[in-house]
Every structure is written in C-alpha cells, then in structure tokens.
Amino acid sequence: MKKVLFLSLLLMLLVSPVTVAEDDAAATAEGSSAPVPGAKPDGAAEPAVPSAQDVAKQEIINLETAYKREYAFLAAQKRELSERLRRYQSSTRGEEQALSSKINVHERQSVERSAKIDELTLQLNEAERTEAAVGERSEALHITYSQAEVALKNHDIGMPASIADAQVSDLAKVGYFFKQALSLIHGLGAIQTRAGEFFLENGKQIQGDIIHLGNIAAYGISEEGSGSLVPAGGGEFKTWKEPSADTAIVLSKNEQPDILKIFLFESRTTAIDESPEKTILGIINSGGIIGWIIVSLGAFAGLLVLIRAYLLQSNSTNTREMSDQIIQKVADGDLEAARKICEDGSSAIARVLSNTLRHLKDDRDHMESVVHEAILQESGALDRFGSAILVIASVSPLLGLLGTVTGMIATFDVITEFGTGDPKLLSGGISIALVTTKLGLMIAIPALLMGSLLSAWARNIKRDMEHVALRVTNAFLGKSDSERSSAFADADETLVLNNNPAT
C-alpha cells in the first residue's frame, strides 16, 4: 500500500511543472489587459517573481528529498522484515527439528508397540493352541473313560464311586482302567469252559458246555449237537453252518486238533447273519425285472442260434460230393442222371443245380440270371433269424445299462431317505446296477459271436452254390453241339416217359 502511494505522489510531482509552465505562457500571451492575480497597482514596486526554471528545480529538489525519505523508510522496513524473516526461519527451524525429534520418538515407540503386539499375538495363539490341545486331550480322556466303563460293564465289572468322582485325578482313573483291562485280558486270553445254552442250526435251544477261546471264538458241546459257535444277538450263541464238531470235541478233551476250524467274531452282542449260497436264480432275481428280460432274450437268442445252425447244416450236407457227381454226369452227357441226383437231394445247392440243369439249353446270359434267381430264392432260408440274433446281441448291453441306471437311481433314493449309515439298505440298488450289466454282457458277447459265425457260414454256402452252378454250366458248355443236342434229346425222352408211365 505504501509503495502505491509513493508512486502516485511521484507521478503528481512530475506532472505539476508542466501544468504551471503552460499556465504562465497563457498569461503572458494574454497581454496587460488581464490583471495578474496578486499584482501591485501601477506605480508600486513589483516583488521578485521566481522563474519557471527555479520552480522546476525546487520541485525536483523536493521530489529527491521525498524519494530519499521514502527510500530510507523502505530500507528500514526491508531491514526490519529481513530481521523478522531471519528470526522466523530460525524459530521455524528449531520447531521443525523439535517436531522431527518427536516424530522419530513416536515412530520408535510405534515400532516397539508393533513388535510388542506381534509378540503378544504369538503368545495368544500359542495359548489358544495349548488350550485347544488340552481340551482335545480332555475330551479324548472322557471318551476313553466312557468306552472303558462300557467295556468293563459288558464283563460285569463296575466302576467304583471313588474313581468316578470328578475330583479324582486323571492319572488315578487311567491307572485303574489299565489295571482292570490287564486283568480282564489275562482272563479272556485263557480257554474257559462254562455251562450254558446255545442254538442248533434247526433253531432248537439246548443246554451244554461252551468253550470260550478268549472273547473272539467259542465252541459248543452237547449230546444233541456240537460245533463252532457264532453270536446270535443278545449274548446268545448258535452253531455255525460249517461242520466243526470234531474240533469242539478235541478241545473239550484239552487236546490239540489237527485242523482248527474256528469262526472269529468281533462282538458277542452283534448277531452274525450267515449269507445264503448264491444260485443262478438268486443272481437273476437280484437283477430285478430287467434281469429276467435280459435272460429271456438270451434264451430266445440261443433258440434262434440252434434253429439257424440246423437250417445251415441241412443245406450244406454232402455238398461237395453231390456237386462232383452232378458235374461228372453233365460232363458225361447224362443230364437225366444229374437231374435225378438233384431231385434226391434236399439241400439248397441241389435245388439251385436242379434249376440250372433245366435251363442249360438257354443262352449263357439267361442261364446266369436263372442261377442268380435260384440263389436269391435260397438266401431267404439261409439268412433266416440272422438279423434277430444280432439285434438281441445289440439290445442286451443296452438293457444292462438301463438296469444299471435304474439301480443307481434306487440307491440314491435310499441314500436321500436313510443316509449311508447302513450298507445293507444300498445292496438292492447296487445289485440291480451290477447284475444287469453282467447279464447283458453275458448274453451279448455269445450272441454276437454266434451270429457272426452263422452269417459267415451262410455266406460260404451261397458262394459254394454260385461256384457249383458255374462249374456245371461250364462243364456243359465245354461239350460239342452234337453232344449237347444228344444229351437234351435223351433228357427230353426220359422226361416224356416219366410223365407217361402207361406208355
């Protein structure tokens, strides 16, 4: 603000001399008629008037004085401001150093606190793991105590109240249970004979002696029946289905048997279910209705295989011998004898050759057409049931896959309703899933193999028919025209006589 005022004053001083000079010049040009302000009357002595140059000099002097004063003032202000800036910078530098020291102190304290927090966190985690391990050990001890107490109760050994008290240390409880367990193991490890009751295979309960081999096997001795025993549930025993009476009798005499027939069981309270022997009907029944459908298709395929094999066998009997005879007769010109051999035969080749012999006098193209027509006529009987057998071979594995999917659906339904706790509940669906696949493959593999073999057999028969027909034709065409005419004449004459037996 002071600088602005100073500049404004300087401009006013520079402009003022020019304005005064202009006013003086105007007054001089105006003449004497214009009274000069402050002039004396005529005749009075005029005072000395300073000239414009003097006034300008005086103004310049005043301006320089004012400028110097202002410069001195500004210099003083500058010195004061510089001193204040120096003092401020000095104080600021000190405050900055103090703040930096405080920041460093705080940073060190923060690092120390972070390290302390990490250490405390590790200690806390370690304490939590220790507590969890102690809890797990305590829980395991309680479970062990419960299992030991139940095991001892099964052998009529109760737990004293002094041991069951919660104030008793774990060491005392563990020592008690170990002592009782060792005593019980020594007792169970010996062979003991006690009077008791057990069931025979027919369900009759009888009185006798029971030989206990520890707690894993037992034998029953009585006048009505003896043998190895298995748990029947509820602590009862029943005789095992395998004959072992001789072993039980030898053990009752404190002797060592040559062969120890024994049934080892895990617990006396769990009944042993003897699995029935598997039969073919049982296996099919386990596959459900789809299993029976697959077996029915297999039986039907077997019947078709037998029928087709019989048809192919009947159409291929003595074909080589008969064809050689017919060709020999044709080569000898005895067409009637050749026809007689064909009529006596019942195979497909005989019928094809019979048609061939009846058209030998035709041209070759017509003869070949007749041969092909006869072969096609016989192909129906040769190919009979072939497609049905192959269809059954293709369908059987698909039915097995259908049974597998059905069984798995049933299994998952059981799992959804009852869970996976009892595997016996899942056996039905699994049986369907596995048995149907097995039955489907057992039917498909033989059916496909037999169908392929029979089809190859049929193709060989048709090839043989075509080959023999061509051989007969070539044998006949190899004769001279006169021989062929004579053969046809003899054959026609014989045909007429056969048609008119009275003549």
* Pairwise pLDDT comparison (450 vs 279), residue with the higher score: 450
- Give the per-residue pLDDT at 137: 82
pLDDT(227) > 70: yes
For the chain, the average pLDDT equals 75
Question: pLDDT at residue 332 above 70?
Answer: no
pLDDT of residue 211: 79
Tens-digit pLDDT profile for residues 6-30: 555 555 544 444 443 444 444 343 3
* Whether the predicted model's global pTM rises above the 0.75 cut: no
Task: Calculate mean pLDDT across residues 287-313.
Answer: 90
**Token digits of residue 241:** 């289905």
Q: What is the mean pLDDT of residues 162-169?
A: 68
Least confident of 26-40, 53-67, 256-270, 364-378: 26-40
Tens-digit pLDDT profile for residues 382-392: 888 888 999 99
Instruction: Enumerate the β-bridge partners of residue 193.
Output: 211
Question: Residue 232: which of 270, 267, 262 has the closest Cα?
Answer: 270
Q: Which of 213, 260, 218, 269 is nearest to 239 (CA)?
A: 218
Instruction: Report the percent of the chain where pLDDT is more than 70.
Output: 71
Asked whether the predicted pLDDT for residue 177 surpasses 60, the reply is: yes
Give the C-alpha separation, 493 to 254, whole Å. Answer: 105
Residue 273: its pLDDT value, please?
Answer: 67
Instruction: Give the mean model confidence (pLDDT) for residues 272-286.
Output: 74
Q: Are 352 and 462 in contact (CB under 8 A)?
A: no
Do residues 436 and 294 lie in contact, with contact meaning Cβ atoms separated by under 8 Å?
yes
Is residue 31's pLDDT more than 60?
Answer: no
Taking only the tens place, the pLDDT of each residue in 105-164 is: 999 999 999 999 999 999 999 999 988 888 888 888 788 878 887 777 776 777 777 676
Q: Is 447 exposed, middle or buried (0-12, 13-18, 19+ CB in 10 A)?
A: buried
- Would the pLDDT of 101 be above 70? yes
Distance CA 13, CA 255 (A): 151
Answer with the residue of higher pLDDT: 502 or 201. 201
Residue 487 has pLDDT above 50, yes or no: no
Q: What residue segments make up the domains of the chain, in order of their start? A: 57-158+169-188, 190-274, 285-499
Phi and psi dihedrals of 28, rounded to 5?
-65, -45
Decide if pLDDT at 33 tops 60.
no
pLDDT at 363 (0 to 100): 64
Q: In this predicted structure, what is the pLDDT of residue 199?
A: 82
- Taking residues 371-377, what's their average pLDDT? 75
pLDDT of residue 209: 83
- Nearest 5°: phi and psi at 212? -95, 120
